[in-house]
Structure 1
Amino acid sequence: MPTAPAAPAGESGAGPLPVRARPLLLAAVAVCAACGLVYELVLLTLSASLAGGGITQTSLIVAGFVAALGAGALLVKPFLGNAAAAFVAVETLLGVLGGLSAVTLYVAFSFYATSGPVLVLGTALLGMLVGAELPLLVTLLQTGRTDMDAQGSGRLLADLNAADYAGALVGGLVWPFVLLPAAGMIRGAALTGLVNLAAASVVAALLLRRWLTRRALATALVALLSAATLLGTLLLRARDIETDARQRLYADPIIVATRSAYQEIVVTRRGGDLRLYLDGDLQFSSADEHRYTESLVAPALARDPARVLVLGGGDGLAARELLRHPTVRQVVQVELDPQVITVARTTFARLNRGALDDPRVQVVVADAFRWLRGPPPEPFDAVVVDMPDPDTPALGRLYSQEFYGLVRAVLAPGGLLTVQAGSPYATPNGYWRTVSTVGAAGLATTPYHVDVPSFGDWGFVLATTDRTPPPLVLSARAAPARFLSPAMLTAAGVFPPDRAPRTLAPSTLDRPRIVDDLRSGYQR
């Protein structure tokens, strides 16, 4: 039969925890577990948002957090003799560090353009503190008991695990569905810290006072109150801190800043130049977007389509160019993020000429991959794929052989497809990987590239269901363009020796090679 731990220091005569108090302590276990999982999700969310965290970084954070749990469980062993005071100390530190984690990482990234060291340190500290909780709680529940046999220990462990896992489930659901969309990362983490501190305060005031001296209890409550005041101040000042930190990331004044369920959306303006950033990546500059947009759209109009599908392109610029073509009767615009559509219809309404409100445009808010897998629509004469660069696994699936196979299925015979494919100079493997992947989906391809000052040398892919690669030509009925001419488009198909074509294995759902291509290219 296991030996019961010694009574915690403080009131040595305190007996075991009353049976009626055990549900409250188990509830505290559930709350602490929920908060602990939220802290881990905060780290993962920030990793994705600030550094484009992929599989490797996500795996390192999860593995590091789990390893830190074990380290925390071992490091807390010397403090089990004073479990009550140690529990309050751990929860106070956890509430403060967890509550400040998001703002610390965000500010560090804005000042130093990196958050890696802070992310590693935060993972280690938060993991160790969360790992210390369960041994302390087991000690508190067993303290003073002499009737604990093997079955009793098993029941106690079952109760603790059930409360712990139930709390983790709640935390895992609350972060993506409640806290993140409603409060954002900084406020969401701070609110979680406050909940953590509140749970510790209840436990200290109602349960642990029998094991703590009055002085120790008063000290614990003052510490908890001070920590709560700090996080409360952060909640009140979060908007100012976030605004100041965000502005440091952008050279131009920010006029729109919002976080959707999918990404951070920022619009800057300097003079007449509007710029759109998604998760910190530039999507276009109004000073030269016509070069990009005309080059993406015009080749797809060479055969005078009537029905055109746009995948991505929620800024409405591709739709604007399509509507200028006299044969286009319908544009189906599929965009994942409704917040981008809102910005397009307001901030960019003048730039895109209200294209998304044109009666010829049907806006569909949906994931392009899932939409293509749905009931097959009437075939389209042309498809324009205007997706962000695939520097994350989520975006990599939209540059996969399977995705382009679905696109091919909705193209009418002889239909044309254009794809924005990144820079053949900055990320050559990523560019030629896209060309190879489109070809692997059964489409004949013609690569081409133009100069876009905001991006540099930028590449595209023109493809068709025909057996032969499509020529780079403009429709005889094309509307006048600011940049693209027949001669310019012909020249766009020529690649110099230092950017010579490459034949690469396709990127697939199973092997998203293009994600690594993009990241290694950026590092180079």
Structure 2
Amino acid sequence: MIEPHAPAPPGSPPSWGGSGGPGGPGTSGGAPDGSDGPPGVSGGPPHGPGAPARLPVRPATGRFLVLAGVFVCAACGLVYELELVALASYLIGDSVTQASVVLSVMVFAMGLGSLAAKRLRRFAAAGFGAVEAVLALVGGSSAMVLYAVFAWTGGWGGLWADGPRFLLVAFSLAIGMLIGAEVPLLMELIQRVRRQDAGGAVADLFAADYVGALVGGLAFPFVLLPFLGQLTGALLTGTVNALVGAALVFGLFRRDMTRRARWLLLAANVVVLALLATATVLADDFERAARHAVYGQDVRVAVQTDVQEVVLTGEPDGRPLDLFLDGRLRVSGSDERRYHEALVHPAMSGPRARVLILGGGDGLAAREVLRHPDVRRVDVVELDPGLTRLARHDPGLSELNEHAYGDPRIHVTTADAFRRLRSTPTARYDVVISDLPDPGITASTKLYSQEFYGLLRRLLAPDGRLVVHAGPVAARTRAFWTVDATLRVAGLRTAPYRVDARDTGFAPGPDRTPATSRTPRDWGFLLAARETPELCLDPTAPRPHTLTSPALARDARSASRTRIAGLPPSTLVHPRY
């Protein structure tokens, strides 16, 4: 390799052999015969960090292409991070904890990767190509591997109780180290293209990196997730990552690598691309097989709506229907009537002309409300239109809710419950039914806050009643009584009660419960009003199938014995679930 006569000053391109050197002005050198070096000399790596690269293009063009590569690689890196966060939230639950674990481990690992990459600066081109190939394979396959472990190890229990979480941390650590290793290697490459002051080089590199991260961060929720899904989206991201990394190294810096390094890197990229392409082709079959492993063989509906994954299993004339939302068993056909009767009927003991249901897009709470002939209007506020569409048109689910959405008294609004209540003028509802997921699920926490219950109190008629599903009493006693404390601080009096599940518990706590789990549990409820409400069943109303007044009184006493006094309320800025 031809060395420059003297070091170039900061900010100026190096001079190769003077203005009349090989390749002429504006080129980065090379033998007249087009080989990697002077005649009779094979190409080799630079003799140390900072040695100018022998580019096939002008330095300005080479610098632009390196920054473009930084942009794409940064976008891919952020997609990997978001993919792990989303998958961990879906499969493990408690999205705040999972996001904190994934992001903190990845940032820590990026520091380790940057330190480790210092040893590769002498071979920056080959090192960067190898890092991108490994990152594409690890990041692109991460979603499929995690989903496979979840699906075929019987959920997260037993021997694998902590194994998948360790696997999540391992992927976060590996991907973070590889992303961190990119920065010093890219810094070395961009300086070899055209020497400039370190501050300017860092500014250019980080600008391209951060803008790429913005594009990747927006592409994940708005393009990859809704149109491709998690598995295919991650695999295609890995493919793009591998192609761009290989194109950058082979297109610009091939003369900085030995012939052996070029062939090894080419073989590695071919293997990586072949593996990712094969996995992409098989992704649909894999997802179906994994879904059957999780939910059983009778999956009838599996759709990813704009809000959540909705899976419906069972048959109308066979196994009872089960409804899973983001992997959590939300409705069990064999025991849902016991839950919904306990939720609705105690609140309907009194005036009930106007009823508001928050959540309940499956139509099952509405079914119980509509059994009362003196109900004139039922407003349902549901976030996911895909769920209400399924409840209207799926033969099994519509039969289970007794075609509630065909009743003219039902009026459905697709909206976030909190936002809807803030924008709703003061109304007067006789009954408000809060059929929302457990408060420990991050997305639901604001719907169990003092601020939210203050909005609900404004909507209640003077003698109106509010009933809240507050999660299991036995399993999450503190959370249950925190809901009670929050309602009281919002100006409402409460009457707690619980109902034991007979066959299969559903609507579990914030941690994901495997689809195969059939552990009995209870459901906890809080009946609230401006004055202390009487917990009873209206003898003039249609009689519930599974609930009696003596059983309700007994369940209320059982719940009261678990009371934890002195708990602070949950607020938007200080959630306590």
| Structure 1 length-normalised TM | 0.91
The CA deviation at 1:215 is 4.4
**2:132 maps to which residue?**
91
Instruction: Please give the per-residue CA displacement for 1:16-43, whole angstroms capped at 9, x wherever unaligned.
Output: 6622222111111000000011111111
1:311-350 paired onto structure 2 within 5 Å: 311-347=358-394, 348-350=397-399
**1:120 maps to which residue?**
169
Are residue 220 (structure 1) and residue 269 (structure 2) matched? no
**2:418 maps to which residue?**
369
Counterpart-to-counterpart distance in 2, 1:407 and 1:325: 23
Counterpart code for 2:568: A
**2:54 maps to which residue?**
15
Counterpart-to-counterpart distance in 1, 2:341 and 2:260: 73
**2:523 maps to which residue?**
458
**1:184 maps to which residue?**
229
Q: Which runs of 5+ in 1 are unaligned?
A: 515-524
The CA deviation at 1:252 is 6.2
Counterpart code for 1:216: A
The CA deviation at 1:2 is 7.5
Are residue 405 (structure 1) and residue 446 (structure 2) matched? no
- After superposing the two structures, state which structure 1 stretch, 310-319 or 204-213, moved more: 204-213
The CA deviation at 1:54 is 3.7
Counterpart-to-counterpart distance in 2, 1:20 and 1:450: 70
The CA deviation at 1:132 is 1.0
1:426-445 paired onto structure 2 within 5 Å: 426-445=475-494
Counterpart-to-counterpart distance in 1, 2:115 and 2:306: 38
**1:64 maps to which residue?**
105
Instruction: Please give the per-residue CA displacement for 1:75-121, whole angstroms capped at 9, x wherever unaligned.
Output: 01111111111111011001110100101111122234342111111
The CA deviation at 1:307 is 1.1
Q: What count of residue pairs does the alignment treat as equivalent? A: 507
Instruction: Please give the per-residue CA displacement for 1:219-269, whole angstroms capped at 9, x wherever unaligned.
Output: 323322221121111111112222222333335632222223333222221
Counterpart-to-counterpart distance in 1, 2:126 and 2:435: 57
Paired residues of 2:358 and 2:380 also in contact (CA < 8 A): yes
Paired residues of 1:333 and 1:363 also in contact (CA < 8 A): yes
The CA deviation at 1:343 is 2.1
SS of alignment partner, residue 350 of structure 1: helix
**1:208 maps to which residue?**
253
**2:34 maps to which residue?**
none
1:139-218 paired onto structure 2 within 5 Å: 139-143=188-192, 145=194, 148=195, 150=197, 153-218=198-263
Are residue 495 (structure 1) and residue 536 (structure 2) matched? no
Counterpart-to-counterpart distance in 2, 1:375 and 1:463: 21
Instruction: Please give the per-residue CA displacement for 1:420-475, whole angstroms capped at 9, x wherever unaligned.
Output: 1222222222222222222221111111122222223322111112x3x1112223
Paired residues of 1:432 and 1:503 also in contact (CA < 8 A): no
- The structure in which a higher percent of residues are helix is 1
The CA deviation at 1:181 is 1.3
Counterpart-to-counterpart distance in 2, 1:192 and 1:149: 32
Are residue 419 (structure 1) and residue 468 (structure 2) matched? yes
Counterpart-to-counterpart distance in 1, 2:536 and 2:441: 33
1:217-296 paired onto structure 2 within 5 Å: 217-250=262-295, 253-269=298-314, 271-296=318-343
**1:44 maps to which residue?**
85
Counterpart-to-counterpart distance in 2, 1:310 and 1:377: 16
Counterpart code for 1:21: G
Counterpart code for 1:71: L
Q: Using a 3 Å threshold, how does the CA distance of structure 1 residues 144 and 101 change in structure 2: closer, same or farther? A: closer
Counterpart-to-counterpart distance in 2, 1:144 and 1:87: 15
Counterpart-to-counterpart distance in 2, 1:473 and 1:66: 55
Instruction: Please give the per-residue CA displacement for 1:48-86, whole angstroms capped at 9, x wherever unaligned.
Output: 111113433322321211111111111011111111111
Q: Using a 3 Å threshold, how does the CA distance of structure 1 residues 144 and 189 change in structure 2: closer, same or farther? A: closer
**2:546 maps to which residue?**
483
- After superposing the two structures, state which structure 1 stretch, 339-348 or 359-368, moved more: 339-348
**1:73 maps to which residue?**
114
Counterpart-to-counterpart distance in 1, 2:115 and 2:125: 17
Q: Using a 3 Å threshold, how does the CA distance of structure 1 residues 311 and 149 change in structure 2: closer, same or farther? A: closer
Q: Stretches of 4+ moved more than 6 A in 1?
A: 1-5
| Structure 2 length-normalised TM | 0.83
Among 128, 149, 152, the alignment partner of 1:108 is 149
SS of alignment partner, residue 295 of structure 2: coil
SS of alignment partner, residue 314 of structure 2: strand
The CA deviation at 1:327 is 1.2
Counterpart code for 1:172: G
Paired residues of 1:204 and 1:217 also in contact (CA < 8 A): no
Paired residues of 2:94 and 2:442 also in contact (CA < 8 A): no
The CA deviation at 1:501 is 6.1
Q: Using a 3 Å threshold, how does the CA distance of structure 1 residues 371 and 409 change in structure 2: closer, same or farther? A: same
SS of alignment partner, residue 372 of structure 2: coil
The CA deviation at 1:214 is 4.4
Counterpart-to-counterpart distance in 2, 1:70 and 1:182: 34
Counterpart code for 1:84: A
- After superposing the two structures, state which structure 1 stretch, 363-372 or 339-348, moved more: 339-348
- After superposing the two structures, state which structure 1 stretch, 13-22 or 238-247, moved more: 13-22
Counterpart-to-counterpart distance in 1, 2:546 and 2:574: 37
Q: Using a 3 Å threshold, how does the CA distance of structure 1 residues 500 and 84 change in structure 2: closer, same or farther? A: closer
Q: Using a 3 Å threshold, how does the CA distance of structure 1 residues 15 and 239 change in structure 2: closer, same or farther? A: closer
Paired residues of 2:439 and 2:471 also in contact (CA < 8 A): no
The CA deviation at 1:14 is 5.0
SS of alignment partner, residue 225 of structure 1: helix
Counterpart-to-counterpart distance in 1, 2:334 and 2:196: 76
Paired residues of 1:495 and 1:501 also in contact (CA < 8 A): no
